[in-house]
Amino acid sequence: MDEYNKSIIERWQSSRVFNLEKDRFKKKRIIRTAIPSIDSYSMTSKSLYPFLLADAYNRYYKMCGENVYYTIAIDTDSYTSYSFLLSHYLDARKLFNEYLDVLNIMGVGFDSDSVISEENSFVLAEIEKCFLKLYNKDIFYEKGLVLTDSLGIKIYNRYEAVEKNNSFYDAKTDGALSLTTDDYFYFEMAPYINEMEALIDSLQIEAEKKKEIYARLGKKRFVEFLFSNYKEHIDIKVSLPKSYYLGGVVAILLNPKYMDVMPYVCSTEASVVEHYLQNGYQAGVYSGMTILNPLTGEEVLIFISYDTDCAIYPLVPALREQDEKFTQEFGLDSIEIIEDNLLINSDFLNGLGLEEASSVLESSFISEGMASVEYKYDSTKLIISKKEGYGVLIPMLIKNEREIEAADLKYLPFYYNQRMRALANNDEELDGEYEISGFEMTEELAYAFMCYLEGRIDSKLNSPIAKPEAQELVFKNENRIIEELIIPYLIRLALGDKGKACYSLYKLSPVSEQALIVYNTQNINFTRDILRDSKADAYRLYILSDEPSDDFEMTKLHIAKYEQYLDEIESLYHEGFLDNSFTFEEKLYKLTSQLNSYLENKRLDLYIESITRFLYDELLANKMSEREALIYLKLISVVCPFTAQRLFEEIFEENYFLVYEEWPFLN
């Protein structure tokens, strides 16, 4: 055991909380909490000890031994499950002893030698079953379909959902849920594109075969054209899949979720921004700016819209059906540029065939510095799917765009280039099925991925990763190069580069307005219980600071509404509380729901962190009582347990059981 863990254990044993904990065990009293399993730590001793000894608000697991009741926490944040550890570097006895060490530190006094002997060695097998059953029971449906929200973003466990008339609904919001057989995750290969391409180029195979490999990986050629407004000094690079599309561009959409377009978004007039905020149902809003089409010289309007999957999206309704909804919404006319397979309305390209026109256009514009050729990947994400096939159970978590959400990954085939179904408005059905092209799962591929996951816990691979040797580059079956060579090589690179690999695992569409609403709805439902006892406490929960936090990276679109939110809640406090009005609860709920929509592209953990900084400052200045702070801490632990754990350890150690003894509705 390292010195860090020893110091924490000594601190724990000398604390009042430790002695209270022992008393509770003697009374065979089980601690229960309704907090969902958002965070927990790994089963390796390095991270398990600090967690069990310092964190008061993580949910607890219950197991029953001979005349002993004890609690236990199982990790998913390290991307590892019990079965994975058991299969690869732990046996059941060693794992069991690890846990007994922790229990003994907590004062339980449970000796493995007295429990496990040759006569009752079956206990180990039962422990294994118990851990697996316990884990799956609380986090996942044990078999069959996965329950998600209507967009497949959030995965629900059995306690977060209710069944009515053979359909499932969110237990808190009554929103309709969906059953699906698949849940897709991806490995982000973007940091390793150069290394991957160098490997492919060095393969001793025909050039056509290399092109096929790149095609399977989704590599495509794009041409970027420079759109300019010389009067306002605006230059925007616009990528087009085909060069001859240029004459048909009628507008450009800028998505504020991407920082690349912030200068243009923030220059939009305040009245335009306010109009867009008040009419969120619109496809977008005119920014007040125009830009010149470099081919035709015609003015192209610039719109702000959240409804795109990239920062800069050119509207070409004559050639892309999906663009028609925007042009209809904005009242724009479509420009036809093809007639009898020849170009029209395209200046000097008129009358040329499509391929010839593209060649002439590129050679002319590139030489003048008005265009450049780039090679991009449709997707840099290698999708991992729960499928019937080769693999083992590896659960994951995602709370926001940097962490993984609970999912039962019993099998690990890799997939890429997923085209999701179009998201429908309101409650309409999603149109059509999505397409997935996949890689065959191999033992080498599964092993490489497992090693990658194991390395996320305690990687000792500090030596540089070399390219495969020459003999590895010759394959009898060239169709398996991606599965047997390229992807394992990428994963080994990720293992050796913690800086790049730190956040390389995400879930598809990790952050959305719907996901934020789900989390904040839990937050508000919890707050409504608190409001019954103390409205003043509830007020303190939501006054963050005088100015928005820099962590939000807010645009002007959000800053205005955020400041308005603070002003309105300040007004509610003075008007509602002073008049003994009970409308505060309803207004608070409404305001917070509105705030969700304006923060739809922001990270919830940063939102909570900024609130936490306020709490910490208030406590240091003695402006908030410990009871008020405990209520607050319980609230934020629902969505940010790591922050709650840190604050508890530093401030509230002596008042640990107030949460359970004073407020029975929390148990």
- pLDDT at residue 171, rounded to an integer: 75
Task: Convert the pLDDT of each residue in 4-28 to its tens digit.
Answer: 444 544 544 454 434 443 443 333 2
pLDDT in the model for residue 593? 46
User: For residues 458 and 451, what is the distance between their CA atoms, to the nearest angstrom?
Assistant: 11
Q: Select the more confidently predicted residue: 577 or 309.
A: 309
Residue-level pLDDT at 217: 77
Taking every pair of Cα atoms in the chain, the longest distance, rounded to a whole number of angstroms, is 91
Tell me how far apart the alpha carbons of residues 248 and 335 are, in angstroms, rounded to a whole number: 5
Q: Give pairs for 533-538: CB < 8 Å, separation 24+.
A: 534/628, 534/631, 535/576, 535/577, 535/584, 535/585, 536/577, 536/628, 537/628, 537/631, 537/632, 538/584, 538/585, 538/588
d(CA 241, CA 608): 41
Of 115, 95, 109, nearest to 45 by C-alpha is 95
The DSSP bridge pattern shows strands 312-315 and 299-304 to be: unpaired
Position 455 scores a pLDDT of 36
Query: How does residue 250 score in pLDDT terms, banded at 50, 70 and 90?
Result: very high
Higher pLDDT, 619 or 365: 365
* Residue 484 backbone phi and psi in degrees, to 5: -95, -15
Q: What is the percent of the chain where pLDDT is above 70?
A: 27
Q: How far apart are CA 289 and CA 275, in angstroms?
A: 16
Lowest mean pLDDT, pick from 288-297, 407-416, 444-453, 615-624: 407-416
Token pair for 72: 């236990």
Q: Which residues contact 208 (CB under 8 A, 6 or more apart)?
A: none
Instruction: Note whether 562 and 576 are within 8 A (CB).
Output: no
Residues 601, 256: contact at Cβ < 8 Å? yes
Within 10 angstroms of residue 544's Cβ, the number of other Cβ atoms is 19
Model confidence at 249, in pLDDT bands (50, 70, 90)?
very high
Q: How far is CA 351 from CA 138, 247, 337, in A?
A: 66, 13, 10
Terminus-to-terminus CA distance in the chain, angstroms?
Answer: 34
Residue 383, pLDDT > 50, answer no
Instruction: Give the whole-angstrom CA distance, residue 9 versus residue 566.
Output: 42
Cα separation of 305 and 302, whole Å? Answer: 10
Task: Name residue, tokens 């799962």.
Answer: 441
Integer Cα distance of 66 and 211 in angstroms: 64
Three-state SS at 225: strand
Mean pLDDT of the residues in the chain: 53
- State residue 533 phi and psi, 5-degree precision: -100, -40
The Cα-based distances of 418 to 121, 179, 381, 662 in angstroms read: 48, 19, 9, 50
Q: What is residue 329's predicted lDDT score, i.e. its pLDDT?
A: 83
What pLDDT does residue 288 have? 77
- At 576, is the pLDDT very low, low, confident or very high (cuts 50, 70, 90)? very low
Structure tokens belonging to residue 42: 């790994």
CA distances in angstroms from 244 to 302, 310, 342, 353, 660, listed in the order given: 21, 21, 10, 10, 68
pLDDT tens-digit readout, 54-101: 222 222 222 222 222 222 233 322 222 333 333 322 344 554 554 454
What would the mean pLDDT of 361-376 be, rounded to a whole number? 86
Query: Once rounded to an integer, what is the mean pLDDT over residues 546-553?
Result: 34
In this model, does residue 385 exceed pLDDT 60? no
> DSSP string spanning 492-538?
HHHHT-HHHHTT-EEESS---HHHHHHHHHHHHHHHHHHHTT-HHHH
Structure tokens at 438: 């996949």
Residues, the chain? 667
Specify the range with the lowest mean pLDDT, choosing from 382-386, 408-412, 453-457. 408-412
Q: What is the dihedral of CA 58, 63, 69, 72, to 10 degrees?
A: -30
More confident residue, 583 or 84: 583
220-377 carries CATH number 3.90.740.10: yes
Express each pLDDT in 446-493 by its tens digit.
Answer: 444 444 433 332 233 333 445 555 555 555 456 667 766 776 677 666
pLDDT, position 326: 86
Rg of the Cα atoms in the chain? 28
Is it the case that residue 47 has pLDDT exceeding 80?
no
Amino acid at 85: L
pLDDT at 481: 75
pLDDT of residue 473: 54
- Helices H, strands E: what count in the chain? 26, 20
In this structure, the number of other CB atoms found within 10 A of the CB of residue 482 comes to 21
Which H or E run includes 330? Answer: helix 324-330
What is the reported pLDDT for 102?
Answer: 43
Q: Which helix (DSSP H) or strand (DSSP E) does residue 557 occupy?
A: helix 556-572
pLDDT at 621: 54
> Angle CA(278)–CA(283)–CA(284) in degrees, nearest 5?
65
Angstrom distance (rounded) from CA 283 to CA 327: 10
Phi, psi torsion values for 238, nearest 5 degrees: -115, 125
Instruction: Kindly indicate the confidence band of residue 220, based on its pLDDT and cuts at 50, 70 and 90.
Output: confident
DSSP for 394-436 reads --B--SSTTSPPPB--S---EEEEEEPPBPPSTTPPPBS--EE
Question: Per-domain residue ranges for the chain?
Answer: 3-139, 146-180, 184-189+199-203+388-506, 220-377, 513-666
Most confident listed range (1-5, 151-155, 249-253): 249-253
> Bridge-partner residues for 164, per DSSP?
167
